[in-house]
Amino acid sequence: MHISEGVLSAPVLFSGGLLAVAGTAIGLKKLDYDRIAQVSILSSAFFVASLIHVNIGPSSVHLILNGIVGLLLGWAAFPAILVALTLQSLFFQFGGITALGMNTVNMAMPAVLCYYLLGPLIKKNHTTAMAASFACGFLSVFGSAVLLGLSLIFTEENFWEVSTLIVLANLPVMMIEGLITAFCVSFFKKVHPVLLGTNDR
């Protein structure tokens, strides 16, 4: 779901840039230095997952993994995703440099929201944790698709049909991301529950 260069209007680009700077600053402030390796690994996972994509109009469909990134990192998802998107833009021209701020907000903001809304449920019993982790994966992608659509609509109202198509095209991705997130949470709860902030086994 990378927004290409020259698509968004200046006010949308400026707003996205400000929000991305604010989110990244908060993420860096809250980041413990002993978790830098974890942030790097998750940023790399996000980078690799987004390499295989299918173009749809001014955007694209691909795996994102922002749900699991958000669950494990919270606000640190902003700098992790920003680094991955920057490298993708520079090396593979996935998304524009000027749209980097808005692309970061579109990916990271739903991840952070899911961290606060669903993160506490991950510490509950197995059934609740699986349902919450699936919802986190699903809703993170859904939120990213909606924010992307809004970015386009605020640029030009004629983008409404394209925005609707982007959300619908990402429905299969939402389901897959939900399953992947649930699998990852189940695995972490068994082998390294401290990653999820719980000692439950």
Domain boundary assignment for the chain: 10-196
For residue 102, what pLDDT is reported?
Answer: 93
**C-alpha of 68 from chain center:** 9
Sign for the CA dihedral angle at 185, 186, 191, 197 comes to positive
The Cβ of residue 171 has, within 10 Å, a number of other Cβ atoms equal to 14
Q: Are 24 and 116 in contact (CB under 8 A)?
A: no
Residues paired with residue 61 on neighbouring β-strands, in sequence order: 54
Tell me the CA distances in angstroms from 179 to 4, 61, 134, 184, one per residue in order.
29, 17, 6, 9
CATH class entry, domain 10-196: mainly alpha
Q: How far is CA 171 from the centre of its chain?
A: 15
Q: Say if residues 13 and 99 touch (Cβ distance below 8 Å).
A: yes
Q: What is the pLDDT of residue 163?
A: 78
CB 1 within 8 A of CB 64: yes
Tally of CA atoms within 13 A in the half-sphere of 94 that contains its CB: 25
Tell me the CA distances in angstroms from 50 to 45, 127, 129, 201, one per residue in order: 9, 29, 26, 32
Question: Per-residue confidence of the chain (201 residues) as pLDDT tens digits?
Answer: 677 777 888 899 999 999 999 999 999 999 888 889 889 998 988 888 877 666 655 555 678 888 999 999 999 999 999 999 999 888 877 777 888 999 999 999 999 999 999 999 988 888 999 999 999 999 999 999 899 889 888 888 777 887 788 788 888 889 989 999 999 999 988 888 877 764 333
Please say whether the beta carbons of 141 and 64 come within 8 A.
Answer: yes
Residue in 116, 124, 100, 118 with CA at minimum distance from that of residue 7: 100
> Which tokens belong to 131?
């349902």
**Structure token digits, residue 117:** 């809304």
